[in-house]
Structure 1
Amino acid sequence: MTLTPPTTAARSHRKPKGEGHERRAEILAAAERIFVEHGYEGATIRKIADEVGLSSTALYMHFSEKGEILQEICRQAFTALRATNESIGGQEGPPEQRLRRMMRAYVDFGFANPNAYRLVYMTRPVELREGAQSAAREMGTDLFRSFEKVVEEVEAEGRLRGDARTTAQALWAGGHGVISLVITKPYFDWVEHEKLVTTLLEGLFAGLLKP
């Protein structure tokens, strides 16, 4: 469920024209890294273009401004997560099973796409202007709602200790917490990620769901 293809941090040589979709993906992957490393204000079209071996003029053929690049990163991330939620939500079985799968898929996405995750969920509002903030708000709300609906199904079965809205937000906060800490504090002596995530989620479910 990787959002952008793996690329090296080394600057590429100038590349021939064409390769539209591939080149666009390269630009987005490079922009993710540069936005995270330099911040939105510190990132420039020139830096992004240099990273993928393009001239600034050539990059403008794909994106009109860096705000459009950030907006597209947000759009792709939310689209991928929403598609996953819809796929899981349509599966058969008890709603608790689907809820657990959604939580794992969300955490897996964050670990697999750390730069995109930081930009979408950990960027200051002032840096999400130029269209990205409204896109993040609208698509993020829709994404959370698709998750909240499954929590409401669990509530309808009488399995929640509290209300669906609070439970959904608590689960999201827990998932976000482990993602954000692991990807921003790689130097910490973390236990194996699978063990950490399993322990966290099982603890949350034990506290929020009735036996």
Structure 2
Amino acid sequence: MPELPTSSSAGPVKGARKPKGEGHARRAEILEAAERIFVEVGYEGATIRRIADEVGLSSTALYMHFSEKSEILHEICRVAFARLQAMNQAVMDEPGPPDDRLRRLLEAYVAFGFDNPNAYRLTYLTRPVEARDGAQTAAQSLGGELYRAFEAVVQDVAAEGHLRGEPRATAQTLWAGAHGVVSLMITKPYFDWVGREALTRSMIDALIAGLLKP
């Protein structure tokens, strides 16, 4: 008679209930699972039960971490903005002229989008129901702070006489270009794109050359 696998060799069973504790790590698991499910089946199609099953919790146990689905979405967006803010701050802390910082901020933003496509979709490519249920609130508060820091760097470039146009319009044009390349590549993966790095470099080079003076 064949020998049954032991618990150490069988591996985790999807949907198996997990022990209590490790609250912070459990919240991270919930957010990661919800992020995938929201993108896979749509925010409206996702349920608390499905998210709970994905991480091996009962629905009741999941409610101990998040009171409703919209709270999970808002937290996904909040965490995404916090990570992006940390990346931006690291760039801002580096020495160098403001036009160099501006380029690095654009590169960091694009890299974040490609490295976190699900979070980026939920944060920046929201439909009306997702905007209503948390994504828009996070974007207005945390995203607004993030953008103002970026706009301040553009103002620094203008103060040194290196802008061709008005700072506010320039900042929005730069952000629109960076957002465009990320959103197109992650939502249209079937298109015959050139390499990610090549397209990003070409787009940022063109924006900088057109909007900044040498």
Q: TM-score, normalised by structure 2?
A: 0.89
2:126 aligned with 1:127, yes or no?
Answer: no
Q: SS of the counterpart of 1:183?
A: helix
The residue that corresponds to 1:207 in the other structure is 210
Give 1:16 shift: 2.0
The residue that corresponds to 1:34 in the other structure is 37
Give 1:12 shift: 4.8
8 Å Cα contact 1:86/1:146 also seen in 2: no
* Greater CA drift, 81-90 or 23-32: 81-90
Aligned partner (choices 33, 52, 56) of residue 55 of structure 2: 52
- Provide, for residues 112-137 of structure 1, a one-character-per-residue CA deviation record: whole Å limited to 9, x for no partner: 10000000000123322244422221
The residue that corresponds to 1:24 in the other structure is 27
The residue that corresponds to 2:118 in the other structure is 115
Aligned partner (choices 151, 154, 158) of residue 155 of structure 1: 158
Larger Rg: 2
Structure 1 CA distance, aligned partners of 2:14 and 2:200?
Answer: 35
8 Å Cα contact 1:152/1:164 also seen in 2: yes
Structure 2 CA distance, aligned partners of 1:160 and 1:125?
Answer: 36
Count, aligned residues: 202
- Provide, for residues 36-82 of structure 1, a one-character-per-residue CA deviation record: whole Å limited to 9, x for no partner: 12222111101111111111011111111111101101111111112
The residue that corresponds to 1:171 in the other structure is 174
**Identical aligned pairs, as a percentage?**
68
8 Å Cα contact 1:28/1:69 also seen in 2: yes
The residue that corresponds to 1:3 in the other structure is none
Any unmatched runs of 5+ in structure 1? 1-9
Q: TM-score, normalised by structure 1?
A: 0.91
8 Å Cα contact 2:155/2:167 also seen in 1: yes
- Provide, for residues 147-184 of structure 1, a one-character-per-residue CA deviation record: whole Å limited to 9, x for no partner: 00000000111111111111111111111111111111
Structure 1 CA distance, aligned partners of 2:117 and 2:203?
Answer: 19
Structure 2 CA distance, aligned partners of 1:101 and 1:11?
Answer: 41
Partner amino acid, structure 2, of 1:106: Y
Partner amino acid, structure 2, of 1:139: L
The residue that corresponds to 2:18 in the other structure is 15
- After the TM superposition, list the runs of 4 or more consecutive aligned residues in structure 1 that deviate by more than 3 angstroms: 10-13
- Provide, for residues 69-116 of structure 1, a one-character-per-residue CA deviation record: whole Å limited to 9, x for no partner: 011011111111122222222322100111111101000000010000
* Greater CA drift, 144-153 or 177-186: 177-186
The residue that corresponds to 2:95 in the other structure is 92
* Greater CA drift, 134-143 or 164-173: 134-143
2:190 aligned with 1:191, yes or no?
Answer: no
Any unmatched runs of 5+ in structure 2? 1-12
Structure 2 CA distance, aligned partners of 1:166 and 1:187?
Answer: 32
The residue that corresponds to 2:142 in the other structure is 139
The residue that corresponds to 1:4 in the other structure is none
